[in-house]
Structure 1
Amino acid sequence: MNAQDGPIESGVEILARAGYAARGVVYLIVGFFAALAAFGRSEAKGTEGALAAVLGAPFGTALVWMLAIGLAGYAAWRLIQAVNDPDRHGTDAKGLVIRAGLLGSGLLNLALAFFALGLVSTWGSDGGGGDPTGGWLAAIPGAGFRWMFVWGAAAILAGTAAALIWKGATAGFEKYMRIPPDAAPWLRPLSRAGLIARGAVFLVLAGLAVRGGFAYDPADRPGLQDALKAVQGYTLGWLLLLAIGLGLAAFAAYSFAEALYRRIDPH
C-alpha cells in the first residue's frame, strides 16, 4: 500500500489479506484432520467440516464469525480479480478461462462464508448452516442438464487440478508476490508442495465425478471430504492421505504467505 491508495483500495487490501489468512486457517484444519485420519485417529473433514470443528473449540463462535468475514472478503477479492483483472490476465482465451476460474472461486468461497454464518446464526434452512449451493445444484437434473453438468464439472475439476499442479511445479505464483529474500529458500518449496497437493485433491474429485456418471446427484455432489476418504481407500491409502494432509497444511502456509506478501491492487 502506498500514499496514493484511497480508502477503497485500502479496504479491499484488508479484505483480501484477511481472506487469504482465513483460507489458510481452514486448510490447516483440513490438513490436520487428514493426517489424523491417516492413522485412524479421526475422520477426514472437508472445508465445511473444518468450520464445524472450529465452532466446537473455545471461543468457537467468535472464531467462526471471523472466518466467515474473512472468507467473504476473499470471495470479494476473487470477484474483483475476475472483473477488474488487476493481475492482467487479459481477454484472450487463456485469460478468460483464468478469470472464469477466479469467478467460480469467488462464488464457492461466498457459499462457504454463508455456510459459516449459518453455523453461528439462524441463516440456512435448518438453522444449522446447510450448504447453500445444494439448492442451486439440485435444480439442474430437473432441467434435463444432468449429463452436461457431470462432465462439465469433471472437466473443470481436472482443469483446476492441472492449473494448480502446473502453478506449483513452475513456481508461477512468485510473480504475484513480494517474497523477502530470506524467506524464499523455505517458502518456495513449501508453497509448491501445497499447490501440488491441492491439485491432487482436485484430480481425485474429477475422477469421482466421472465415476459417478449419470448416477451423480448434484445436490449431494462429492466434495473435499469425499476426495480424502477416496484416497484413504487406495492401496497404501493411509500413506497417500498423510502426504496430502501434510500437503494441504503446506497449502495453508502458502495462503498465509499470500496474506503477507501478495500484491493487492484492485485496479
Structure 2
Amino acid sequence: MRPDGRQALELLARLGYGARGITYCLVGGLAVLAAVGVGGQTGGSRSALLILLGKPFGWILLGLIAFGLAAFALWRVVEAVTDADGYGRSAKGLATRAGHLVSGVIYGGLALSMAKAALGRGTAGSDDQGARDWTAWLLQQPFGQWLVGAVGLVVIGAGFAFARKAWRGDVTRRLSVPHDARDWARHLGRFGYAARALTFGLIGGFLIAAAIESRSSDVKGLGGALQALRAEPYGWVLLAVTAAGLAAFGVFGLVQARYRRIDPPDLDAARRAVKDITR
C-alpha cells in the first residue's frame, strides 16, 4: 500500500475510535440521567444514537457517526485479518483477533442501520429486539440451544477479558498519551472496561438462560442489561455507576482516537501473501 493509502487507513481507524467513543458517551450519559431521575433512557447503542434525529441537523450528525462506525468496522476487520497490532498466532492472539473480527461485523451492522435511519429509510429496531431475532433464528438451527449457549459463554469470556484488563490496568499500553495525562487516562480506561465487563457478563447470562429455556424472549442487549441493573435493590446506584463507567469508556475512546498507536498494514503485501497461500 502506498504511504497515502496507509495514512488514509489510519485516519479511518481514528475516526472509528472517535465514533465508538461518542456512541458510548451517549449510551452512558443518557443512562446516568435515567438513574438519577432527570430524563434520559436506559437503552443500547441504537436507541441512544436515534436520539440525535430529534435534534437540529440530527440526521447529519447521525450520518457522520454512521460513517465513523463503518470506518471502525473496516479497521477491526483489517486489524484482525492482517494482525496489525501484532497479537500473533497463539491461542490468546487468535481469540483476540477473532473477537475483533466479530466486533467489525457488529459495528458494520450498526453503521448500516444508522445510515438508513439518517437517510429516512426506516428507524432501526432496539438492541434487545435485534438480539432476540438472531437468537430465535439460531435456536431453530440444529443444536440451536447448544449454539446459543456457546455464544453466551463467549460473551461472558469477553466480559472476563475486560475485567482482567481493568484489574491489570494496562489499558494505556497502546497509547502515546502525554506523561502528565497518563494516570487519568488509565483510571478512565479501567473504569470503562470494568463497566463493559459487567454488562457483557449480564448479556452472556441472558443468552445462557435463553439457551436453557429455548426461549429467545429471555435475551437482552445492552439496554436490557442496564434495565436489569435498575430493577435490583438500590438499582439506581448500580445503574448510575455502571452508566458512568460506560460514559468513561466513551471518553476513553476519544482519547484512543487521538493518541492510540496505529500501524496500518501494507495491504498489498497482505494480498500477495493470501494469493500465495491459496495457490
TM-score by length of 2: 0.87
Corresponding position: 1:86 with 2:84: yes
2:20 aligned partner: 23
How many residues end up aligned between the 2 structures? 260
Report what 1:56 is aligned to: 54
Instruction: Rate the CA distance shift 1:233–1:135 in 2: closer, same or farther, 3 A.
Output: closer
2:31 is equivalent to residue 34 of structure 1? yes
In 2, are the aligned partners of 1:45 and 1:224 still within 8 Å (CA)? yes
In 2: Cα distance, 1:151 partner to 1:137 partner = 10
The alpha carbon displacement at 1:134 in A equals 7.0
The offset of 1:207, in angstroms, is 1.8
Amino acid in structure 1 at the alignment position of 2:76: R
| Residue 187 of structure 1, CA deviation | 1.3
Q: CA deviation at 1:86?
A: 1.2
Unpaired runs of at least 5, structure 2:
266-279
C-alpha contact (below 8 Å) 1:150/1:216 kept by paired residues: no
> Secondary structure at the residue paired with 1:35?
helix
Structure 1 stretch displaced more, 253-262 or 140-149: 140-149
The AA in structure 2 aligned to 1:174 is T
1:203-253 CA distance string (max 9 Å, x none): 1112222233333328x8411000000011112111000001111111011
Instruction: State how 1:193-232 maps to structure 2 within 5 Å.
Output: 193-212=191-210, 213-217=212-216, 221-232=219-230
**Given the alignment of the two structures, is residue 241 of structure 1 paired with residue 239 of structure 2, yes or no?**
yes
Structure 1 residue runs without a partner (length 5+): none
Q: Deviations over 1:133-180 (max 9, x none)?
A: 776655323323321232112111111101111112212232211111
TM-score (norm 1): 0.91
Structure 1 counterpart of 2:63: 65
Of 203-212 and 70-79, more deviation after overlay is shown by: 203-212
The one-letter code matched in structure 2 to 1:74 is: F
Q: Percent identity?
A: 36
DSSP 3-state at the match of 1:55: helix
Residue 68 of structure 1, CA deviation:
0.4
Change in 2 beyond 3 A, CA 1:136/1:209 = closer
Q: CA RMSD in A?
A: 2.0
In the TM superposition, what is the alpha-carbon distance from 1:122 to its structure 2 partner?
5.5
Q: Secondary structure at the match of 2:142?
A: coil
In the aligned structure 2, how far is the partner of 1:175 from the partner of 1:185?
Answer: 12
Residue 14 of structure 1 pairs with residue 11 of structure 2: yes
**Which residue identity does 2:6 align to in structure 1?**
E
